[in-house]
């Protein structure tokens, strides 16, 4: 075959493949999305999201404040509006925002306003940081559903707030449950989070 004809043939095949993909006959990976939640100690909410099919990446950090480049020392001084948070990058084809919220609600005490479990202070307050009107609508719907479920006697007080810039935390906080498994397990158990989740959700958590 003439080399020029062969090259033309190759480009034609590629063009057909691209057209076929654009018509949905070949799955094309969707762009990923992000979700940001605050749920008390960020060490403790990361494992559940890491296990979820469709979650591409998780990063713990700080959200809700305005000071640039926040540090752990600054945030836990309780002199800012930052909250320990997690940023979840996910594939919306494999997992929905609503499903992420379902996982989130099962990691926290949604009736606690002053922090989470034994972690008390502004930086440990729970919140859902929505990125657009649709996320806000879904968050409010899941909150209302939880309130009417009968699982909790007290009001659901977790805040639903507009998204702000998310700042990654220091490396030693990332995947802490893997870096220091023994300390993590002792901390999670000692905080009361494990027993609370078991009581409220049992095997569902």
Q: What is the pLDDT along the chain (205 residues), one digit of tens a residue?
A: 444 343 333 333 333 333 333 344 434 446 999 999 999 999 999 999 999 999 999 999 999 999 999 999 999 999 999 999 999 999 999 999 999 999 999 999 999 999 999 999 999 999 999 999 999 999 999 999 999 999 999 999 999 999 999 999 999 999 999 999 999 999 999 999 999 999 999 865 4
**Which backbone phi and psi does 30 adopt, to 5 degrees?**
-75, 160
- Among candidate residues 35, 36, 38, 41, the one labeled active-site is 41
Q: Report pLDDT for 70.
A: 98
Judge whether 97 and 35 are in contact, CB under 8 Å: yes
Residue 88: how many CA atoms within 13 Å on its side-chain side?
32
41 assigned to active site: yes
Q: Report pLDDT for 202.
A: 85
Helices 42-50 and 97-105: angle between axes, nearest 10 degrees? 130
Q: How far apart are CA 62 and CA 123, in angstroms?
A: 9
pTM of the model: 0.84
Q: In the numeric block, which tokens belong to residue 83?
A: 């909250």
Distances in Å between the Cα of 18 and the Cα atoms of 9, 10, 93, 168 are: 14, 13, 20, 37
């Amino acid at each position: 075959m003439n080399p020029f004809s062969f090259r033309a043939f190759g480009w034609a095949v590629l063009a057909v493949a691209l057209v076929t993909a654009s018509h949905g006959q070949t799955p094309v990976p969707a762009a990923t999305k992000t979700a940001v939640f605050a749920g008390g100690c960020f060490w403790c909410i990361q494992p559940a999201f890491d296990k979820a099919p469709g979650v591409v990446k998780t990063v713990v950090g700080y959200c809700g404040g305005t000071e640039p480049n926040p540090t752990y020392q600054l945030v836990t001084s309780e002199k800012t509006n930052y909250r320990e948070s997690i940023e979840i990058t996910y594939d919306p084809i494999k997992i929905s925002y609503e499903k992420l919220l379902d996982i989130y609600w099962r990691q926290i005490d949604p009736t606690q306003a002053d922090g989470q479990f034994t972690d008390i202070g502004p930086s440990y307050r729970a919140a859902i940081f929505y990125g657009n009107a649709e996320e806000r609508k879904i968050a409010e719907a899941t909150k209302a559903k939880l309130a009417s479920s009968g699982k909790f006697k007290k009001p659901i007080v977790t805040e639903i707030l507009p998204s702000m810039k998310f700042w990654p935390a220091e490396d030693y906080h990332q995947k802490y449950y893997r870096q220091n498994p023994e300390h993590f397990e002792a901390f999670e158990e000692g905080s009361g989070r494990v027993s609370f989740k078991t009581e409220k959700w049992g095997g569902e958590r």
